[in-house]
Protein backbone atom coordinates (compact mmCIF):
# COMPACT_ATOMS: atom_id res chain seq x y z
CA UNK A 1 0.00 0.00 0.00
CA UNK A 2 1.02 3.63 -0.54
CA UNK A 3 2.23 5.52 2.59
CA UNK A 4 -1.00 7.57 2.81
CA UNK A 5 -3.04 4.41 2.45
CA UNK A 6 -1.10 2.75 5.27
CA UNK A 7 -1.80 5.75 7.53
CA UNK A 8 -5.51 5.55 6.78
CA UNK A 9 -5.62 1.79 7.34
CA UNK A 10 -3.80 2.03 10.67
CA UNK A 11 -5.86 5.00 11.86
CA UNK A 12 -9.22 3.36 11.21
CA UNK A 13 -8.14 -0.04 12.47
CA UNK A 14 -7.28 1.62 15.80
CA UNK A 15 -10.46 3.72 15.74
CA UNK A 16 -12.72 0.72 15.17
CA UNK A 17 -11.00 -1.15 17.98
CA UNK A 18 -11.63 1.81 20.28
CA UNK A 19 -15.31 1.79 19.37
CA UNK A 20 -15.59 -1.76 20.67
CA UNK A 21 -15.27 -0.45 24.26
CA UNK A 22 -18.22 -1.28 26.54
CA UNK A 23 -21.04 1.18 27.24
CA UNK A 24 -20.71 4.92 26.75
CA UNK A 25 -16.92 4.78 26.59
CA UNK A 26 -17.23 3.80 22.92
CA UNK A 27 -19.25 6.94 22.08
CA UNK A 28 -17.08 9.30 20.02
CA UNK A 29 -19.62 10.99 17.76
CA UNK A 30 -22.91 12.81 18.18
CA UNK A 31 -24.78 10.06 16.31
CA UNK A 32 -23.68 7.58 19.00
CA UNK A 33 -26.04 9.22 21.53
CA UNK A 34 -29.46 7.50 21.42
CA UNK A 35 -31.43 10.66 22.30
CA UNK A 36 -29.89 12.70 19.49
CA UNK A 37 -30.04 9.77 17.08
CA UNK A 38 -33.76 9.28 17.70
CA UNK A 39 -34.35 13.01 17.24
CA UNK A 40 -32.59 13.00 13.88
CA UNK A 41 -34.53 9.99 12.67
CA UNK A 42 -37.84 11.54 13.73
CA UNK A 43 -37.01 14.87 12.09
CA UNK A 44 -35.57 13.71 8.79
CA UNK A 45 -36.48 10.06 8.15
CA UNK A 46 -40.03 9.84 9.49
CA UNK A 47 -38.92 7.87 12.54
CA UNK A 48 -37.07 5.21 10.55
CA UNK A 49 -33.41 4.48 11.16
CA UNK A 50 -31.19 4.68 8.03
CA UNK A 51 -31.03 0.86 7.95
CA UNK A 52 -34.83 0.58 7.60
CA UNK A 53 -35.06 3.69 5.40
CA UNK A 54 -32.44 2.17 3.11
CA UNK A 55 -34.15 -1.24 2.95
CA UNK A 56 -37.40 0.45 1.90
CA UNK A 57 -35.60 1.85 -1.15
CA UNK A 58 -33.69 -1.25 -2.17
CA UNK A 59 -34.60 -3.03 -5.38
CA UNK A 60 -36.55 -6.17 -4.60
CA UNK A 61 -35.31 -8.79 -4.65
CA UNK A 62 -31.70 -7.71 -4.03
CA UNK A 63 -29.80 -10.84 -4.94
CA UNK A 64 -26.33 -9.36 -4.66
CA UNK A 65 -25.16 -6.23 -2.82
CA UNK A 66 -21.85 -4.43 -2.34
CA UNK A 67 -20.83 -2.39 0.71
CA UNK A 68 -18.24 0.36 0.32
CA UNK A 69 -16.18 1.04 3.44
CA UNK A 70 -17.67 -1.70 5.61
CA UNK A 71 -15.44 -1.26 8.67
CA UNK A 72 -16.02 -4.24 10.96
CA UNK A 73 -19.02 -5.37 8.90
CA UNK A 74 -21.87 -4.72 11.35
CA UNK A 75 -24.22 -3.47 8.63
CA UNK A 76 -23.40 -6.32 6.26
CA UNK A 77 -23.97 -8.93 8.97
CA UNK A 78 -27.27 -7.23 9.80
CA UNK A 79 -28.49 -7.30 6.21
CA UNK A 80 -27.61 -10.98 5.85
CA UNK A 81 -29.30 -11.81 9.15
CA UNK A 82 -32.43 -9.92 8.11
CA UNK A 83 -32.53 -11.83 4.81
CA UNK A 84 -32.53 -8.58 2.84
CA UNK A 85 -29.80 -9.70 0.43
CA UNK A 86 -28.91 -13.16 -0.76
CA UNK A 87 -25.21 -12.31 -1.10
CA UNK A 88 -23.02 -9.39 -0.04
CA UNK A 89 -19.48 -8.38 -0.90
CA UNK A 90 -18.00 -5.79 1.45
CA UNK A 91 -14.66 -4.00 1.38
CA UNK A 92 -12.62 -1.58 3.43
CA UNK A 93 -9.08 -0.26 3.64
CA UNK A 94 -8.75 -0.94 7.39
CA UNK A 95 -6.72 -4.15 7.46
CA UNK A 96 -7.45 -5.04 11.10
CA UNK A 97 -11.21 -4.55 10.70
CA UNK A 98 -11.35 -6.73 7.58
CA UNK A 99 -9.29 -9.46 9.25
CA UNK A 100 -11.67 -9.50 12.24
CA UNK A 101 -14.73 -9.60 9.97
CA UNK A 102 -13.30 -12.50 7.98
CA UNK A 103 -12.71 -14.46 11.20
CA UNK A 104 -16.33 -13.85 12.22
CA UNK A 105 -17.56 -15.06 8.82
CA UNK A 106 -15.58 -18.28 9.22
CA UNK A 107 -16.81 -18.79 12.78
CA UNK A 108 -20.44 -18.36 11.68
CA UNK A 109 -19.96 -20.53 8.60
CA UNK A 110 -21.43 -17.87 6.29
CA UNK A 111 -20.99 -18.51 2.57
CA UNK A 112 -23.00 -15.54 1.33
CA UNK A 113 -20.91 -12.78 2.90
CA UNK A 114 -17.38 -11.96 1.74
CA UNK A 115 -15.03 -9.28 3.09
CA UNK A 116 -12.20 -7.83 0.99
CA UNK A 117 -9.23 -5.59 1.78
CA UNK A 118 -9.54 -3.09 -1.10
CA UNK A 119 -9.15 0.59 -1.90
CA UNK A 120 -12.20 2.31 -3.41
CA UNK A 121 -9.95 4.83 -5.16
CA UNK A 122 -8.49 2.18 -7.44
CA UNK A 123 -10.59 -0.99 -7.40
CA UNK A 124 -12.06 -2.08 -10.75
CA UNK A 125 -15.54 -3.55 -10.37
CA UNK A 126 -17.00 -6.12 -12.75
CA UNK A 127 -19.83 -4.97 -14.97
CA UNK A 128 -23.48 -5.54 -13.97
CA UNK A 129 -22.60 -7.51 -10.84
CA UNK A 130 -24.75 -5.94 -8.10
CA UNK A 131 -28.39 -4.98 -7.61
CA UNK A 132 -27.57 -2.69 -4.73
CA UNK A 133 -24.49 -0.76 -3.56
CA UNK A 134 -24.39 1.05 -0.24
CA UNK A 135 -21.94 3.10 1.80
CA UNK A 136 -22.29 4.26 5.39
CA UNK A 137 -20.01 7.20 6.24
CA UNK A 138 -17.42 5.98 3.74
CA UNK A 139 -17.62 8.25 0.68
CA UNK A 140 -16.03 11.22 2.41
CA UNK A 141 -12.84 9.12 2.63
CA UNK A 142 -12.67 8.67 -1.16
CA UNK A 143 -10.38 11.01 -3.10
CA UNK A 144 -11.00 9.67 -6.60
CA UNK A 145 -14.77 10.10 -6.54
CA UNK A 146 -14.97 10.04 -10.34
CA UNK A 147 -13.38 6.61 -10.43
CA UNK A 148 -15.54 5.17 -7.64
CA UNK A 149 -18.87 6.47 -8.96
CA UNK A 150 -17.92 5.43 -12.48
CA UNK A 151 -17.19 1.93 -11.25
CA UNK A 152 -20.44 1.81 -9.26
CA UNK A 153 -22.41 2.94 -12.32
CA UNK A 154 -20.67 0.17 -14.25
CA UNK A 155 -21.23 -2.58 -11.69
CA UNK A 156 -24.91 -1.87 -10.96
CA UNK A 157 -27.35 -4.03 -12.85
CA UNK A 158 -30.19 -2.30 -14.74
CA UNK A 159 -32.54 -0.80 -12.15
CA UNK A 160 -29.87 -0.99 -9.46
CA UNK A 161 -29.54 1.61 -6.72
CA UNK A 162 -26.67 3.24 -4.82
CA UNK A 163 -27.45 4.30 -1.23
CA UNK A 164 -25.20 6.39 1.00
CA UNK A 165 -25.38 8.01 4.40
CA UNK A 166 -22.48 10.41 4.83
CA UNK A 167 -20.80 13.64 5.81
CA UNK A 168 -21.22 16.04 2.88
CA UNK A 169 -19.94 19.23 4.57
CA UNK A 170 -16.88 21.34 3.74
CA UNK A 171 -13.86 19.35 2.58
CA UNK A 172 -11.28 18.85 5.35
CA UNK A 173 -13.98 20.37 7.61
CA UNK A 174 -12.85 23.91 6.82
CA UNK A 175 -16.01 25.59 8.13
CA UNK A 176 -16.90 29.23 7.48
CA UNK A 177 -16.49 31.82 10.25
CA UNK A 178 -20.28 32.05 10.67
CA UNK A 179 -20.62 28.29 10.98
CA UNK A 180 -17.85 28.11 13.59
CA UNK A 181 -19.47 30.93 15.55
CA UNK A 182 -22.77 29.03 15.67
CA UNK A 183 -20.97 25.86 16.81
CA UNK A 184 -19.13 27.69 19.59
CA UNK A 185 -22.30 29.44 20.76
CA UNK A 186 -23.94 26.02 21.12
CA UNK A 187 -20.88 24.59 22.91
CA UNK A 188 -20.99 27.45 25.40
CA UNK A 189 -24.47 26.39 26.57
CA UNK A 190 -23.04 23.19 28.10
CA UNK A 191 -21.75 22.95 31.69
CA UNK A 192 -17.99 22.48 32.06
CA UNK A 193 -18.44 18.99 33.48
CA UNK A 194 -20.08 17.95 30.20
CA UNK A 195 -17.24 19.40 28.11
CA UNK A 196 -14.46 17.20 29.48
CA UNK A 197 -13.20 14.79 26.81
CA UNK A 198 -12.14 11.19 27.44
CA UNK A 199 -8.67 12.41 28.43
CA UNK A 200 -10.02 14.91 30.97
CA UNK A 201 -9.24 17.95 28.78
CA UNK A 202 -11.82 20.77 28.82
CA UNK A 203 -13.32 21.48 25.39
CA UNK A 204 -13.36 25.29 25.26
CA UNK A 205 -13.67 26.10 21.56
CA UNK A 206 -14.15 24.55 18.14
CA UNK A 207 -11.56 25.69 15.59
CA UNK A 208 -10.63 24.84 12.04
CA UNK A 209 -8.14 22.02 12.11
CA UNK A 210 -5.03 22.60 9.98
CA UNK A 211 -5.06 20.51 6.83
CA UNK A 212 -1.60 19.28 7.84
CA UNK A 213 -3.21 17.55 10.82
CA UNK A 214 -5.38 15.45 8.52
CA UNK A 215 -2.38 14.57 6.38
CA UNK A 216 -0.49 13.46 9.47
CA UNK A 217 -3.15 11.15 10.92
CA UNK A 218 -5.68 10.24 8.21
CA UNK A 219 -5.10 11.75 4.75
CA UNK A 220 -8.46 10.41 3.59
CA UNK A 221 -10.59 12.32 6.12
CA UNK A 222 -13.17 14.51 4.33
CA UNK A 223 -10.72 14.74 1.44
CA UNK A 224 -13.40 15.82 -1.09
CA UNK A 225 -16.58 15.67 0.98
CA UNK A 226 -18.02 18.89 -0.46
CA UNK A 227 -17.80 17.35 -3.95
CA UNK A 228 -19.60 14.07 -3.19
CA UNK A 229 -23.01 15.25 -4.41
CA UNK A 230 -21.82 17.25 -7.47
CA UNK A 231 -19.67 14.36 -8.71
CA UNK A 232 -22.36 11.78 -7.95
CA UNK A 233 -24.81 13.79 -10.06
CA UNK A 234 -22.58 13.35 -13.11
CA UNK A 235 -23.27 9.62 -13.00
CA UNK A 236 -26.68 9.29 -11.32
CA UNK A 237 -30.01 10.92 -10.65
CA UNK A 238 -29.69 11.71 -6.94
CA UNK A 239 -32.31 12.03 -4.19
CA UNK A 240 -30.96 13.99 -1.19
CA UNK A 241 -32.40 13.87 2.32
CA UNK A 242 -30.52 16.23 4.72
CA UNK A 243 -29.66 14.69 8.09
CA UNK A 244 -28.66 17.82 10.01
CA UNK A 245 -25.90 17.64 12.66
CA UNK A 246 -24.69 21.06 11.49
CA UNK A 247 -23.74 21.95 15.08
CA UNK A 248 -23.94 18.77 17.12
CA UNK A 249 -21.37 16.91 15.02
CA UNK A 250 -18.52 19.11 16.25
CA UNK A 251 -20.06 20.13 19.60
CA UNK A 252 -20.46 16.55 20.84
CA UNK A 253 -17.32 15.15 19.21
CA UNK A 254 -15.37 13.22 21.90
CA UNK A 255 -17.74 14.36 24.67
CA UNK A 256 -20.97 12.53 23.70
CA UNK A 257 -20.22 9.88 26.35
CA UNK A 258 -20.76 12.49 29.11
CA UNK A 259 -24.50 12.61 28.48
CA UNK A 260 -26.44 9.82 30.19
CA UNK A 261 -29.50 8.88 28.11
CA UNK A 262 -31.27 7.81 31.32
CA UNK A 263 -30.77 11.24 32.92
CA UNK A 264 -33.52 13.80 32.28
CA UNK A 265 -31.14 16.72 32.74
CA UNK A 266 -28.68 15.36 30.22
CA UNK A 267 -31.47 14.68 27.74
CA UNK A 268 -32.68 18.27 28.16
CA UNK A 269 -29.21 19.50 27.18
CA UNK A 270 -29.27 17.30 24.06
CA UNK A 271 -32.74 18.57 23.16
CA UNK A 272 -31.57 22.19 23.48
CA UNK A 273 -28.60 21.51 21.21
CA UNK A 274 -30.93 20.06 18.56
CA UNK A 275 -33.20 23.12 18.87
CA UNK A 276 -30.26 25.49 18.38
CA UNK A 277 -29.09 23.41 15.44
CA UNK A 278 -32.40 23.51 13.60
CA UNK A 279 -32.63 27.25 14.23
CA UNK A 280 -29.12 27.79 12.78
CA UNK A 281 -30.03 25.75 9.70
CA UNK A 282 -33.24 27.73 9.17
CA UNK A 283 -31.44 31.09 9.40
CA UNK A 284 -28.58 29.96 7.18
CA UNK A 285 -25.91 30.34 9.89
CA UNK A 286 -25.05 26.67 9.44
CA UNK A 287 -25.55 24.08 6.72
CA UNK A 288 -26.51 20.44 7.29
CA UNK A 289 -23.33 18.39 7.39
CA UNK A 290 -24.88 14.98 6.79
CA UNK A 291 -27.32 13.51 4.31
CA UNK A 292 -28.85 10.27 3.07
CA UNK A 293 -28.43 9.87 -0.68
CA UNK A 294 -30.27 7.58 -3.07
CA UNK A 295 -28.66 7.44 -6.52
CA UNK A 296 -30.34 5.82 -9.50
CA UNK A 297 -29.02 5.29 -13.00
CA UNK A 298 -29.58 8.29 -15.24
CA UNK A 299 -32.60 8.04 -17.47
CA UNK A 300 -31.48 10.83 -19.82
CA UNK A 301 -28.90 8.82 -21.78
CA UNK A 302 -29.99 6.49 -24.59
CA UNK A 303 -31.03 3.12 -23.19
CA UNK A 304 -30.27 1.32 -26.46
CA UNK A 305 -27.64 1.99 -29.11
CA UNK A 306 -28.70 4.23 -32.00
CA UNK A 307 -28.73 2.56 -35.40
CA UNK A 308 -25.38 1.63 -36.93
CA UNK A 309 -23.87 4.37 -39.11
CA UNK A 310 -24.18 4.15 -42.88
CA UNK A 311 -20.50 4.20 -43.85
CA UNK A 312 -19.43 3.31 -47.38
CA UNK A 313 -15.98 1.96 -46.52
CA UNK A 314 -15.21 1.36 -50.21
CA UNK A 315 -15.23 5.12 -50.73
CA UNK A 316 -12.35 5.48 -48.27
CA UNK A 317 -10.25 2.55 -49.46
CA UNK A 318 -8.81 4.43 -52.44
CA UNK A 319 -7.32 7.11 -50.17
CA UNK A 320 -3.70 6.61 -49.20
CA UNK A 321 -3.35 5.76 -45.52
CA UNK A 322 -4.41 2.98 -43.19
CA UNK A 323 -7.76 2.60 -41.38
CA UNK A 324 -9.08 -0.72 -40.14
CA UNK A 325 -12.73 -1.49 -40.80
CA UNK A 326 -13.23 -2.15 -37.07
CA UNK A 327 -11.92 1.31 -36.19
CA UNK A 328 -14.10 2.96 -38.82
CA UNK A 329 -17.23 1.12 -37.73
CA UNK A 330 -16.71 1.83 -34.02
CA UNK A 331 -15.91 5.48 -34.77
CA UNK A 332 -19.22 5.74 -36.58
CA UNK A 333 -21.13 4.13 -33.73
CA UNK A 334 -19.53 6.44 -31.17
CA UNK A 335 -20.29 9.44 -33.36
CA UNK A 336 -23.92 8.29 -33.62
CA UNK A 337 -24.03 8.18 -29.82
CA UNK A 338 -22.87 11.80 -29.70
CA UNK A 339 -25.41 12.84 -32.33
CA UNK A 340 -28.21 11.17 -30.37
CA UNK A 341 -27.31 13.44 -27.43
CA UNK A 342 -26.92 16.51 -29.69
CA UNK A 343 -23.35 16.65 -28.39
CA UNK A 344 -21.52 17.16 -31.71
CA UNK A 345 -19.55 20.44 -31.59
CA UNK A 346 -16.31 20.26 -33.58
CA UNK A 347 -13.95 17.59 -34.94
CA UNK A 348 -10.17 17.87 -34.80
CA UNK A 349 -7.38 15.67 -36.12
CA UNK A 350 -3.72 15.95 -35.16
CA UNK A 351 -1.93 14.33 -38.11
CA UNK A 352 -4.12 14.47 -41.21
CA UNK A 353 -1.82 12.91 -43.84
CA UNK A 354 -4.04 12.38 -46.92
CA UNK A 355 -7.25 13.03 -44.98
CA UNK A 356 -8.63 9.50 -44.75
CA UNK A 357 -9.78 9.51 -41.10
CA UNK A 358 -10.63 13.22 -41.11
CA UNK A 359 -12.89 12.57 -44.10
CA UNK A 360 -14.65 9.88 -42.09
CA UNK A 361 -15.17 12.26 -39.16
CA UNK A 362 -16.36 15.03 -41.48
CA UNK A 363 -18.82 12.69 -43.19
CA UNK A 364 -20.24 11.63 -39.84
CA UNK A 365 -20.61 15.30 -38.81
CA UNK A 366 -22.48 16.30 -41.98
CA UNK A 367 -25.55 18.39 -41.28
CA UNK A 368 -24.45 19.44 -37.80
CA UNK A 369 -22.49 22.55 -38.79
CA UNK A 370 -19.57 21.32 -36.69
CA UNK A 371 -16.19 22.89 -37.58
CA UNK A 372 -13.73 20.44 -39.14
CA UNK A 373 -10.12 21.21 -38.18
CA UNK A 374 -6.87 19.42 -38.92
CA UNK A 375 -3.13 19.89 -38.32
CA UNK A 376 -0.31 18.29 -40.26
CA UNK A 377 3.27 19.25 -41.07
CA UNK A 378 2.89 17.35 -44.37
CA UNK A 379 6.41 15.96 -44.08
CA UNK A 380 7.45 12.35 -43.77
CA UNK A 381 9.84 12.96 -40.89
CA UNK A 382 10.78 15.67 -38.43
CA UNK A 383 13.30 18.11 -39.89
CA UNK A 384 12.69 17.06 -43.48
CA UNK A 385 13.09 20.03 -45.82
CA UNK A 386 10.08 20.15 -48.13
CA UNK A 387 9.25 23.31 -50.10
CA UNK A 388 6.36 25.25 -48.62
CA UNK A 389 4.56 25.12 -51.95
CA UNK A 390 4.62 21.32 -51.84
CA UNK A 391 3.28 21.31 -48.26
CA UNK A 392 0.50 23.70 -49.24
CA UNK A 393 -0.32 21.45 -52.20
CA UNK A 394 -0.60 18.45 -49.87
CA UNK A 395 -2.92 20.46 -47.60
CA UNK A 396 -5.15 21.49 -50.52
CA UNK A 397 -5.30 17.88 -51.73
CA UNK A 398 -6.40 16.72 -48.26
CA UNK A 399 -9.08 19.44 -48.17
CA UNK A 400 -10.31 18.30 -51.58
CA UNK A 401 -10.52 14.71 -50.33
CA UNK A 402 -12.57 15.73 -47.31
CA UNK A 403 -14.97 17.81 -49.40
CA UNK A 404 -15.38 14.99 -51.93
CA UNK A 405 -16.26 12.42 -49.28
CA UNK A 406 -18.19 14.77 -47.00
CA UNK A 407 -19.84 17.41 -49.22
CA UNK A 408 -22.35 18.25 -46.51
CA UNK A 409 -19.73 19.17 -43.93
CA UNK A 410 -18.29 22.60 -43.25
CA UNK A 411 -15.16 23.38 -45.34
CA UNK A 412 -12.22 22.01 -43.35
CA UNK A 413 -9.56 24.22 -41.80
CA UNK A 414 -6.15 22.60 -42.24
CA UNK A 415 -3.03 24.08 -40.65
CA UNK A 416 0.37 23.30 -42.14
CA UNK A 417 2.41 22.89 -38.95
CA UNK A 418 3.68 20.52 -36.31
CA UNK A 419 1.25 20.37 -33.39
CA UNK A 420 3.81 21.97 -31.06
CA UNK A 421 3.80 25.04 -33.32
CA UNK A 422 0.05 25.67 -32.97
CA UNK A 423 -1.26 27.89 -30.17
CA UNK A 424 -4.00 26.36 -28.03
CA UNK A 425 -6.04 29.56 -28.34
CA UNK A 426 -6.01 29.21 -32.11
CA UNK A 427 -7.66 25.80 -31.91
CA UNK A 428 -10.17 27.03 -29.34
CA UNK A 429 -11.01 29.92 -31.64
CA UNK A 430 -11.82 27.61 -34.57
CA UNK A 431 -14.47 25.80 -32.49
CA UNK A 432 -15.63 28.02 -29.60
CA UNK A 433 -18.06 25.33 -28.40
CA UNK A 434 -15.22 22.83 -28.08
CA UNK A 435 -14.38 19.60 -29.86
CA UNK A 436 -16.56 16.55 -29.49
CA UNK A 437 -14.26 14.20 -31.44
CA UNK A 438 -10.45 14.41 -31.56
CA UNK A 439 -8.09 12.14 -33.50
CA UNK A 440 -4.48 11.85 -32.34
CA UNK A 441 -2.36 10.50 -35.21
CA UNK A 442 0.57 12.88 -35.64
CA UNK A 443 4.12 12.13 -34.52
CA UNK A 444 4.55 8.54 -33.32
CA UNK A 445 7.54 9.15 -31.08
CA UNK A 446 6.87 9.02 -27.35
CA UNK A 447 7.60 12.73 -26.82
CA UNK A 448 5.23 13.71 -29.66
CA UNK A 449 2.36 11.59 -28.33
CA UNK A 450 2.85 12.81 -24.76
CA UNK A 451 2.81 16.44 -25.97
CA UNK A 452 -0.34 15.92 -28.05
CA UNK A 453 -2.21 14.31 -25.16
CA UNK A 454 -1.19 17.10 -22.79
CA UNK A 455 -2.54 19.64 -25.29
CA UNK A 456 -5.90 17.98 -25.84
CA UNK A 457 -6.44 17.86 -22.06
CA UNK A 458 -7.45 21.52 -22.49
CA UNK A 459 -9.79 20.73 -25.38
CA UNK A 460 -11.60 17.81 -23.75
CA UNK A 461 -15.13 18.35 -22.47
CA UNK A 462 -17.37 15.83 -20.72
CA UNK A 463 -18.79 14.47 -24.00
CA UNK A 464 -15.51 14.50 -25.97
CA UNK A 465 -14.23 11.25 -27.49
CA UNK A 466 -10.56 10.87 -28.46
CA UNK A 467 -9.23 8.30 -30.93
CA UNK A 468 -5.50 7.62 -30.47
CA UNK A 469 -4.07 5.74 -33.45
CA UNK A 470 -1.48 2.94 -33.54
CA UNK A 471 -1.86 1.98 -29.88
CA UNK A 472 -0.46 -1.54 -29.31
CA UNK A 473 0.94 -1.51 -32.84
CA UNK A 474 4.32 -3.32 -32.58
CA UNK A 475 5.72 -1.13 -35.35
CA UNK A 476 5.06 2.08 -33.36
CA UNK A 477 6.04 1.38 -29.73
CA UNK A 478 6.53 5.10 -29.11
CA UNK A 479 2.76 5.62 -29.11
CA UNK A 480 2.29 3.34 -26.10
CA UNK A 481 5.30 4.89 -24.39
CA UNK A 482 3.84 8.36 -24.97
CA UNK A 483 0.53 7.30 -23.45
CA UNK A 484 2.34 5.91 -20.41
CA UNK A 485 4.34 9.11 -20.03
CA UNK A 486 1.16 11.17 -20.05
CA UNK A 487 -0.70 9.10 -17.45
CA UNK A 488 2.36 9.00 -15.18
CA UNK A 489 3.07 12.73 -15.49
CA UNK A 490 -0.61 13.69 -14.99
CA UNK A 491 -2.18 11.33 -12.42
CA UNK A 492 -5.21 13.66 -12.31
CA UNK A 493 -5.70 13.59 -16.09
CA UNK A 494 -9.29 13.91 -17.29
CA UNK A 495 -8.60 11.30 -20.00
CA UNK A 496 -9.82 7.75 -19.48
CA UNK A 497 -9.50 4.90 -22.02
CA UNK A 498 -12.71 2.90 -22.46
CA UNK A 499 -12.40 0.81 -25.63
CA UNK A 500 -10.02 -0.32 -28.37
CA UNK A 501 -10.60 -1.51 -31.92
CA UNK A 502 -8.48 -1.76 -35.05
CA UNK A 503 -5.36 -0.24 -33.45
CA UNK A 504 -7.28 2.80 -32.21
CA UNK A 505 -7.64 3.39 -28.48
CA UNK A 506 -10.70 5.47 -27.67
CA UNK A 507 -10.60 7.72 -24.63
CA UNK A 508 -13.17 9.97 -23.00
CA UNK A 509 -13.54 12.38 -20.10
CA UNK A 510 -13.26 10.35 -16.92
CA UNK A 511 -16.68 11.62 -15.78
CA UNK A 512 -18.22 9.78 -18.76
CA UNK A 513 -16.13 6.61 -18.55
CA UNK A 514 -18.80 4.40 -16.99
CA UNK A 515 -21.45 5.68 -19.40
CA UNK A 516 -19.37 5.06 -22.51
CA UNK A 517 -18.10 1.72 -21.23
CA UNK A 518 -21.72 0.65 -20.76
CA UNK A 519 -22.54 1.97 -24.24
CA UNK A 520 -19.84 -0.02 -26.04
CA UNK A 521 -20.85 -3.11 -24.06
CA UNK A 522 -24.42 -2.57 -25.30
CA UNK A 523 -23.11 -2.83 -28.88
CA UNK A 524 -22.40 -6.49 -28.17
CA UNK A 525 -26.16 -7.10 -28.07
CA UNK A 526 -26.67 -6.03 -31.70
CA UNK A 527 -27.38 -9.28 -33.61
CA UNK A 528 -26.80 -7.56 -36.97
CA UNK A 529 -23.41 -6.09 -35.99
CA UNK A 530 -20.23 -6.82 -37.98
CA UNK A 531 -18.23 -9.93 -37.23
CA UNK A 532 -15.69 -8.16 -35.00
CA UNK A 533 -18.50 -7.39 -32.54
CA UNK A 534 -19.79 -10.96 -32.69
CA UNK A 535 -16.29 -12.27 -31.91
CA UNK A 536 -15.99 -9.78 -29.06
CA UNK A 537 -19.30 -10.95 -27.60
CA UNK A 538 -17.90 -14.46 -27.15
CA UNK A 539 -14.66 -13.16 -25.64
CA UNK A 540 -16.52 -10.93 -23.15
CA UNK A 541 -18.69 -13.85 -22.10
CA UNK A 542 -15.55 -15.84 -21.34
CA UNK A 543 -14.03 -12.90 -19.44
CA UNK A 544 -17.18 -12.56 -17.36
CA UNK A 545 -17.09 -16.27 -16.55
CA UNK A 546 -13.52 -15.83 -15.31
CA UNK A 547 -14.37 -12.54 -13.49
CA UNK A 548 -11.69 -10.83 -15.59
CA UNK A 549 -12.04 -7.14 -16.45
CA UNK A 550 -9.39 -5.83 -18.90
CA UNK A 551 -8.08 -2.45 -17.79
CA UNK A 552 -5.60 0.22 -18.85
CA UNK A 553 -4.23 3.00 -16.62
CA UNK A 554 -6.73 2.03 -13.92
CA UNK A 555 -9.80 2.16 -16.20
CA UNK A 556 -11.73 -0.85 -17.44
CA UNK A 557 -11.81 -1.11 -21.24
CA UNK A 558 -13.62 -3.23 -23.80
CA UNK A 559 -11.07 -4.48 -26.33
CA UNK A 560 -12.85 -5.50 -29.54
CA UNK A 561 -11.57 -8.45 -31.53
CA UNK A 562 -10.31 -8.29 -35.10
CA UNK A 563 -12.67 -9.36 -37.88
d(CA 161, CA 22): 35
- pLDDT in single tens digits along all 563 residues of the chain: 444 666 666 665 666 566 565 667 778 889 999 999 999 999 988 888 887 887 777 766 678 999 999 999 999 998 898 888 889 999 999 888 999 999 999 999 999 999 999 999 888 888 888 999 999 999 999 998 988 998 898 899 888 899 999 999 999 999 999 999 999 999 999 999 999 998 889 999 999 999 998 888 788 999 999 999 988 988 888 888 899 999 999 999 999 999 999 999 999 999 999 999 999 999 999 999 999 999 988 754 444 556 667 788 888 888 988 899 999 999 999 998 888 888 899 999 999 999 999 999 999 999 999 999 999 999 876 667 788 898 899 999 999 999 999 999 999 999 999 999 999 999 999 999 999 999 999 999 999 999 999 999 999 998 999 999 999 999 999 999 999 999 999 988 999 999 999 999 999 998 788 788 888 888 887 778 889 998 998 888 887 777 677 889 988 899 999 86
Tell if the pTM clears 0.85, that is, is over it.
no
CB neighbour list of residue 217: distance below 8 Å, 6 or more residues apart: 7, 11
d(CA 513, CA 509): 7
d(CA 78, CA 71): 13
d(CA 341, CA 559): 24
d(CA 27, CA 252): 10
Q: What is the pLDDT of residue 340?
A: 81
Numbers of helices and strands, H then E, in the chain: 20, 17
Sheet strands side by side (includes 435-440): 413-416, 372-376, 347-350, 435-440, 460-468, 504-509, 495-501, 558-559
Quickly name the fold that domain 322-559 has: Rossmann fold (3.40.50)
- The answer to whether domain 3-296 and domain 322-559 are alike in fold is yes
| Torsion angle of the four alpha carbons 513, 514, 520, 524, in this order, in degrees rounded to the nearest 10 | 160
Q: Which of 498, 424, 490, 493 is nearest to 468 (CA)?
A: 498
d(CA 509, CA 494): 5
Q: What is the pLDDT of residue 302?
A: 44
Domain boundaries, the chain: 3-296, 322-559
d(CA 132, CA 166): 17
Write down the H helix ranges in 262-318.
Answer: 264-283, 313-317
Whole-angstrom Cα Rg for the chain: 28
Q: What is the pLDDT of residue 303?
A: 43
Q: Which of 30, 320, 296 is nearest to 164 (CA)?
A: 296
Q: What is the pLDDT of residue 547?
A: 67
Q: Which of 155, 219, 211, 151 is nearest to 1 (CA)?
A: 219
How many angstroms separate the most distant Cα atoms in the chain?
93
**Cα separations in angstroms, 187 against 86, 201, 204, 208:** 45, 15, 8, 15
Assign domain 3-296 to a CATH class: alpha beta
Sign of the CA dihedral with 491 first, then 494, 497, and 498 last: positive
CB neighbour list of residue 558: distance below 8 Å, 6 or more residues apart: 498, 499, 500, 517, 520, 521, 536, 540, 550
Amino acid sequence: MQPDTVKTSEFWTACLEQRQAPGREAWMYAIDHPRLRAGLYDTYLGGLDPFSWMRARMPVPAQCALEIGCGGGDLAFGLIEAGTCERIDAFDIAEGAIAAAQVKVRDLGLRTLRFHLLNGNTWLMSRHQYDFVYASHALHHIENLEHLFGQVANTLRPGGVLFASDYIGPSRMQYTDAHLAAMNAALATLPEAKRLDRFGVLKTAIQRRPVELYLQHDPSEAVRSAEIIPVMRRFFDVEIVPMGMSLTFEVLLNIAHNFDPDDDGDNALIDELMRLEQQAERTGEAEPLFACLVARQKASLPAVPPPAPDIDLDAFRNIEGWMADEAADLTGRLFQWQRSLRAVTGVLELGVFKGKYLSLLASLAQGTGAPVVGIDAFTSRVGEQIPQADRDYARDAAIATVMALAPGSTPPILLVAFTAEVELGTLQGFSPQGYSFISVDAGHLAADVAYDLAMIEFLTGERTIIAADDVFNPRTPGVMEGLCRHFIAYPDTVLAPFTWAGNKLFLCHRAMHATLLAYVHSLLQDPAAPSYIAKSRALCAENQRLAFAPSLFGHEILAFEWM
